[in-house]
Amino acid sequence: MSNLFQEYKVSLKDISVEEPLDLYLFRPIAFILVKLIYRSSLTPNQISFLSILAGILAGFLFALGTPASFIYGGIMFGLTHILDLCDGMIARLKKTGTPTGRIIDGLADYVNGVAVYTGFGLGLSRSSLEFPISPILIVLFTGICAAIHSMIADYFRSEFMAHALDKSRSVQEERELFTSELKKMKQIKGKYLEKLLIKVYLKYSRVQAGQTTKKRKYDQKTYFKTNKSLLRLWNCLGASAHISIFMISSFLFNPAIFFYFVLGIANIAMLVLWVFQVNTNKRIDLTANI
């Protein structure tokens, strides 16, 4: 049992950066699936594409607009997230992760989001539920807000991994690495998909990190101490929280639960956290006076 738990820990990014619902709900389920397919020939990228197929199916189920289809769509959306976790867990266990694989994993999240929210909006417009304005417009705005929450939470998670745990590169360092790699790839023919994925990632990370190109430096212990509690709060606005609330509202055929969470609670929390985060990092930035 202790060996199994140790193997589970190895499959994680780091316990201190995991979202609570992932750590105690979605990842244990994903780990069981990982153990079942570990010896198969499935690669992390193939699992990412399976996740995309599951997301498209979830969107189709939501588009039917019935209480039963919303239940099945919610279950399928949960499976989509579990598969999305599986690819990274297998990559870490087999040590087969690649930079391009991480981009594909992130791209799958957004493809799934578009598929699910599109189906959700179409389904609500076909349902018997009444809304003050077009449900498609509500879903569109809610989906954009949810994507922003997850993007910012993921950014500060990556920064914590880099500056507090020294277990990954910062977003700025990742941008420099991929920019250099893209320059090399432009000198050779082929690999068009990889070139496209890197270009998409560079544009995404530019938005994620803001317009600044300044490289910041922090004392590792100070960053860990000052950002540990903030990261826990950011993790409550991550993808797993949104997916869980989305599933609950789908099971109950009550989308207002999800709308109130994203448009009300999560938006307010994001703005408050952002102010604290920016002020905290300014205070401990060693390059501030350079």
Which residues, including other chains, have CB under 8 Å from residue 29's CB and lie 6 or more apart?
82
Does residue 178 belong to any structural domain of this protein?
Answer: no
Number of structural domains in the chain: 1
Can you give the pLDDT at residue 211?
47
Does residue 199 belong to any structural domain of this protein?
Answer: no
- pLDDT of 266 > 90? The answer is yes
- The burial of 74, by beta-carbon neighbours within 10 Å (0-12 exposed, 13-18 middle, 19 or more buried), is given as buried
- pLDDT of 175 > 90? The answer is no
- pLDDT of 103 > 70? The answer is yes
Least confident of 106-110, 126-130, 152-156: 106-110
> Residue 107 sits in which domain range?
2-170+216-284
Can you give the pLDDT at residue 234?
96
Does residue 197 belong to any structural domain of this protein?
Answer: no
Average pLDDT estimate for 233-262: 96
Considering only CA atoms, which of 127, 3, 144, 134 is closest in space to residue 63?
A: 127
Does residue 179 belong to any structural domain of this protein?
Answer: no
List the CATH number of the domain containing 137.
Answer: 1.20.120.1760
Can you give the pLDDT at residue 170?
64
Does residue 51 belong to any structural domain of this protein?
Answer: yes
- pLDDT of 208 > 70? The answer is no
Which pLDDT band holds residue 237 (cuts at 50, 70, 90)? very high
Which pLDDT band holds residue 25 (cuts at 50, 70, 90)? very high
Does residue 190 belong to any structural domain of this protein?
Answer: no
Does residue 96 belong to any structural domain of this protein?
Answer: yes
Q: What is the CA radius of gyration of the chain?
A: 20
Does residue 77 belong to any structural domain of this protein?
Answer: yes
Which pLDDT band holds residue 200 (cuts at 50, 70, 90)? low
- Calculate the alpha carbon distances from 212 to 151, 206, 208 in Å: 17, 9, 10
Which pLDDT band holds residue 289 (cuts at 50, 70, 90)? low
